């Protein structure tokens, strides 16, 4: 039986349900507010936002399934002539209260163009305000484990892809400690069938909750100072810069007339910018800056 876009979309919706239920249990106080929306031109989605929780200051777990005519700018970017598209996926960004709990982002998505073009994309990446090396190693081991179940080359390739993608060029620093990122995966490129690629996509999506739950529980009760809170807000500023300047999903959403509130749910409730900020020598802030680099081996 051929894998259908309807089955992919329905499964992604189930993954959204699993993750929002798990995050509510993890937070223990706040719950998600859901808004159903329709896209002019075709399709729609479910935006779910959580705010002002015990752990989660602001977060979104969004599902969408949209279709219609591909705008000329996107056709040029994709280097295609076809224009009838379908896209579905789950997108997550979580901004925690505590500076010792990291920001996390996940996206799994499927795209069809015309009758013959179809691919999968996605990834999970971690943006700690303070890089805790044991946490970074745990996170990357979780990413490697899920990748290794499906293809021996996925983790090294997708880790490098994430390092390069989540790089703030104008700052010459990575957004965080990376993770895995991939786009336009097809049977021709991977040797896997569409069904196998879909299974990988779902397994990655279902790795999100146990991974983030562990990281939250390791750090949720750590005390923090006003100085550490200020640093958190500065690091959020870097997150905003990347998402507004470089993020491909943001651009795609805006150029396909997506719902603006859902597209920009990745932005934190509050972020700061300081002119020419320099961390103190031998501080935790300086240590974190030294680890915001490409090609760090967190597995070895």
CATH number for the domain that contains residue 187: 3.40.1500.10
pLDDT at 248: 86
pLDDT at 174: 98
Residue 263 counted as domain residue? yes
Q: What are phi and psi of 277, to 5 degrees?
A: -70, 135
Phi-psi region of 51 (alpha: psi -120 to 50; beta: other; left: phi over 0): beta
Residue 257 counted as domain residue? yes
pLDDT at 300: 80
Cα Rg, the chain, nearest whole Å: 19
Residue 144 counted as domain residue? yes
pLDDT at 111: 95
CB of 178 closer than 8 Å to CB of 166: yes
Q: Which residues contact 79 (CB under 8 A, 6 or more apart)?
A: none
The dihedral sign for the CA sequence 254, 260, 266, 271: positive
Residue 298 counted as domain residue? no
Q: What angle do CA 277, 134, 173 make, to 5 degrees?
A: 30
Euclidean distance between CA atoms 209 and 21, whole angstroms: 10
Euclidean distance between CA atoms 230 and 253, whole angstroms: 31
pTM over 0.85: yes
Residue 296 counted as domain residue? no
pLDDT at 255: 81
Q: What are phi and psi of 94, to 5 degrees?
A: -125, 125
Nearest to 91 by CA among 53, 43, 139, 49: 49
Domain that holds residue 46: 5-290
- Encode the chain (300 residues) as per-residue pLDDT tens digits: 579 999 999 999 999 999 999 999 999 999 999 999 998 889 999 999 999 999 999 999 999 999 998 877 777 777 777 788 999 999 999 999 999 999 999 999 999 998 888 999 999 999 999 999 999 999 999 999 999 999 999 999 999 999 999 999 999 999 999 999 999 999 999 999 999 999 999 999 999 999 999 999 999 999 999 999 999 999 999 999 999 999 988 888 888 777 888 888 899 999 999 999 999 999 999 999 999 999 999 998
CB of 172 closer than 8 Å to CB of 85: no
Residue 176 DSSP label:
S
From 95, 105, 140, 150, the catalytic residue: 105
Q: Is 104 helix (H, G, I), strand (E, B) or coil?
A: strand
pLDDT at 238: 97
**Does 105 participate in catalysis according to the annotation?**
yes
User: How many domains does the structure of the chain reveal?
Assistant: 1
pLDDT at 1: 59
Residue 300 counted as domain residue? no
Map tokens 């009838």 to a residue.
84
Q: What angle do CA 72, 67, 74 make, to 5 degrees?
A: 20
Euclidean distance between CA atoms 43 and 9, whole angstroms: 11
Residue 48 is inside which H or E element, if any?
strand 43-51
User: Which pair of structure tokens corresponds to residue 32?
Assistant: 């998600």
Quick one: CA torsion of 122, 39, 250, 133, rounded to 10 degrees? Answer: -40
Facing residues of 48 across strands? 34
Residue 299 counted as domain residue? no
């Amino acid at each position: 039986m051929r894998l259908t876009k309807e089955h992919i979309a329905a499964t992604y919706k189930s993954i959204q349900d699993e993750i929002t239920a798990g995050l509510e249990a993890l937070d223990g106080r706040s719950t998600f507010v859901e808004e159903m929306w329709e896209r002019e031109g075709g399709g729609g989605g479910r935006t779910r936002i959580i705010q002002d929780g015990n752990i989660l200051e602001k977060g979104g777990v969004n599902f969408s399934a949209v279709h219609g005519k591909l705008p000329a700018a996107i056709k040029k970017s994709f280097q295609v002539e076809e224009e009838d598209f379908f896209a579905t996926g789950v997108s997550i960004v979580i901004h925690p209260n505590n500076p010792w709990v990291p920001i996390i982002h996940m996206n799994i998505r499927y795209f069809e163009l015309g009758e013959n073009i179809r691919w999968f994309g996605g990834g999970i990446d971690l943006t700690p305000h303070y890089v805790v090396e044991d946490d970074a190693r745990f996170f990357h081991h979780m990413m490697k484990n899920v990748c290794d179940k499906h293809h021996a080359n996925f983790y090294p390739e997708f880790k490098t892809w994430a390092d390069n993608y989540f790089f703030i060029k104008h700052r010459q620093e990575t957004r965080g400690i990376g993770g895995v990122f991939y786009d336009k995966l097809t049977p021709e490129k991977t040797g896997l069938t569409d069904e196998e690629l879909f299974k990988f996509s779902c397994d990655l999506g279902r790795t999100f909750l146990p991974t983030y739950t562990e990281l939250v529980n390791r750090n949720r009760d750590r005390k923090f100072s006003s100085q550490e809170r200020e640093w958190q807000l500065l690091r959020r500023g870097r997150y905003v810069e990347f998402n507004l300047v470089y993020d491909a999903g943001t651009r795609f959403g805006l150029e396909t007339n997506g719902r603006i509130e859902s597209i920009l749910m990745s932005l934190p409730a509050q972020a700061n910018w300081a002119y020419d900020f320099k961390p103190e020598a031998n501080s935790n802030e300086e240590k974190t800056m030294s680890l915001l680099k490409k090609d760090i081996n967190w597995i070895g």
